[in-house]
Structure 1
Amino acid sequence: MRNLIRILFCVCMSAAGLAHAAIDLPDLPNLAGVGVGVTTQCTGCKDTLVGVMPALEYHSEHYTLEWYGPVAQLDLGAPGSSFRWGPVLGIRLGRSDLDDPVLDALPGIHNTMEGGAFVGYEYLHAGGVPYRVRLYTYVMTNAGQEYTGARGSVYGSVWLPASPRILLGAGLGYGWGSHSFMNTYYGVSSAGAAASGLPAFDAHGGSQQVYGWLGAVVRVAPKWFVGVGVIEQRLIAAAADTPIVTQRGTPNQLTYGAGVGYSF
């Protein structure tokens, strides 16, 4: 989800909202790549799809630009500083053309632009076995195009080397949303109930999900990297209680994928 913001190296993002479950990458050189992944067709759905995403990370003297799939962020933290901050811009994918005919009968949700900001802190332990710990939070909104209010996440990650060529990572996070955000993606209106046969449901604001992920980045040649990763998102509170999930979907949203990148 930086919201997300970042994701495991080239793991695909999709309508399931993986783009909003933030996942960190370790420090890498300037890098361009592409990834492919499998995830659910919408947040709360159980049917899956396969998608492809681009990846770009560029470091300058004053900033770091990261673009992974539908999310881009500009890290303006000073070089050498543990404090990280900056703006985030992304596309939140909607809900349409689903395999499940009942869920597909619900009113569609358009793709929408989101903007926001992140702040974070990172600690690099250079002695003994080196490792990096990151703690981040972000807030995003789309200014009423599909929902009002905001959504956000807090999360942490750790990366450490398994060998000079292999980095292993893991992380945990928690996401929340305003009433408008939650009701847009998890609510069932009276019109939606009449069209789908699902009971009407008002999704209150608050907790949305908890998630955890595992990943690895391998340098396979001097300028080539391969990444693999898996993330499990567990919908909670109103996001898990909606009939979209209880009658047609699942609160467990699994995404996995792999990608390749070239450093420059």
Structure 2
Amino acid sequence: MNTMQMLKLTVLACGAAGAVLLAPAHQAGAGGMLELEMDTVPTIIGVAVGALPDYRGSDDYTFGFAPMIRYTFSGQERYIQLMANELTINVFDDKMFRFGPLANYHFGRTDSVDDPMVSKMHEIDDTVELGAFADIVWTLSDDPRHRFILGAKLYQDVGNESDGFRANVGFRYWLPVAKPVDLNLSAGFIYQSDDYANHYFGVNADNVGSSGLPFFNAGGGVNEYYMVVGGLFYLNKNWLMTVGVRGSVIAGDPADSPIVDQRGDATQWIGGIGIGYAFW
């Protein structure tokens, strides 16, 4: 596995670590992001391994690993989190509301993908996205682990790659089923602008290369629906293990793109397992 493949798999990062897909990374070169979310743990470092599509829309899969770090300020709700390729900062010191900036390193699509035709298309360069996120958190019982979270993220390309934007809206539900076990169910949808959708799913004279794929113009809209099922296991006071599986369906114009409909699959899977160490 080359360095770029390993970096792309930061999208899994502790996503295997369990939890939720808050906002899929939506790389051209990867399928999404499972996201570690341990709100009841002040500071944690972790690493995870897992599998995800070779590129978004691919039916080939690859493997890798990646780290994550979350630091919560003492006595506050504010935190800084590096989840694989995405940095978020919560500026609200409030148990119910979270809000802050985000920065995401958005991977492109290389010519090293397994599909023999897609690999002949021109590469899509990596880029940087900036944006913001917001969450509303409801604690559903005396146990702070039992919670429902409604969240949204907005990403704008600032690296002159697609010049488009995307947004994720979804919920995450956490249910403690035993003292050492939390279960998670999450779901949501992804909206993409026309520029973003056509850049990563379109086929035209600028990117077709020698692939021979038919030309296709991809419009924006709600272009993906997803669900995540995960579990968080407290091995002891400091060590935690997580597992997660994310299934999604590419919809709208991107589902009809030749790189998905002819060369890949609109149904996408990501799964992994991770371990973290908590500092109390």
Q: Shared fold (TM-score greater than 0.5)?
A: yes
Q: Are the equivalent residues in 1 in contact too, given 2:99–2:135 (CA < 8 A)?
A: yes
1:180 paired residue among 164, 186, 195: 195
Please report how far the alpha carbon of residue 190 of structure 1 lies from its aligned counterpart in structure 2 after TM superposition.
2.3
* Letter of the 1:145 counterpart: N
Please report how far the alpha carbon of residue 27 of structure 1 lies from its aligned counterpart in structure 2 after TM superposition.
2.6
Structure 1 unmatched ranges of 5 or more: none
Aligned 1:56-67 pairs, distance under 5 A = 56-60=69-73, 61=76, 63-67=78-82
User: Is 1:119 the counterpart of 2:127 in the alignment?
Assistant: no
Please report how far the alpha carbon of residue 193 of structure 1 lies from its aligned counterpart in structure 2 after TM superposition.
3.8
* Letter of the 1:122 counterpart: V
1:159 paired residue among 174, 189, 198: 174
Any idea what SS the aligned residue of 1:147 has? coil
Q: Are the equivalent residues in 2 in contact too, given 1:201–1:242 (CA < 8 A)?
A: yes
Q: Distance in 1 between matches of 2:235 and 2:77?
A: 29
Please report how far the alpha carbon of residue 144 of structure 1 lies from its aligned counterpart in structure 2 after TM superposition.
4.9
Match of 1:47 in 2: 60
Q: Distance in 1 between matches of 2:209 and 2:145?
A: 57
Any idea what SS the aligned residue of 1:190 has? coil
1:86 paired residue among 96, 100, 121: 100
Tell me whether 141-150 or 228-237 shows the greater mean CA deviation.
141-150
Please report how far the alpha carbon of residue 6 of structure 1 lies from its aligned counterpart in structure 2 after TM superposition.
8.9
Q: Are the equivalent residues in 1 in contact too, given 2:51–2:62 (CA < 8 A)?
A: yes
Q: 1:218 to 1:129 in 2, by over 3 A?
A: same
2:91 paired residue among 76, 97, 101: 76
Q: Distance in 2 between matches of 1:53 and 1:4?
A: 7
TM-score by length of 1: 0.91
Kindly tell me the number of residue pairs found equivalent between the two proteins: 260
1:49-74 per-residue CA deviation (whole Å, 9 max, x = no partner) reads 11111011111036211111111101
Tell me whether 183-192 or 64-73 shows the greater mean CA deviation.
183-192
Any idea what SS the aligned residue of 1:245 has? helix
Match of 1:168 in 2: 183
TM-score by length of 2: 0.86
Q: 1:154 to 1:4 in 2, by over 3 A?
A: farther
Match of 1:250 in 2: 265
Any idea what SS the aligned residue of 2:167 has? strand
User: Is 1:205 the counterpart of 2:213 in the alignment?
Assistant: no
Any idea what SS the aligned residue of 1:122 has? strand
Q: 1:149 to 1:219 in 2, by over 3 A?
A: same
Identity %: 28
Q: Are the equivalent residues in 2 in contact too, given 1:89–1:113 (CA < 8 A)?
A: yes
Match of 1:133 in 2: 148
Q: Distance in 2 between matches of 1:44 and 1:161?
A: 34
1:143 paired residue among 158, 162, 165: 158
Please report how far the alpha carbon of residue 83 of structure 1 lies from its aligned counterpart in structure 2 after TM superposition.
1.4
Q: Distance in 1 between matches of 2:198 and 2:124?
A: 12
* Letter of the 1:220 counterpart: L
Q: Are the equivalent residues in 1 in contact too, given 2:13–2:48 (CA < 8 A)?
A: no
Please report how far the alpha carbon of residue 131 of structure 1 lies from its aligned counterpart in structure 2 after TM superposition.
1.8
Q: 1:9 to 1:195 in 2, by over 3 A?
A: same
Q: 1:128 to 1:94 in 2, by over 3 A?
A: closer
Q: 1:145 to 1:180 in 2, by over 3 A?
A: same
Please report how far the alpha carbon of residue 148 of structure 1 lies from its aligned counterpart in structure 2 after TM superposition.
1.3
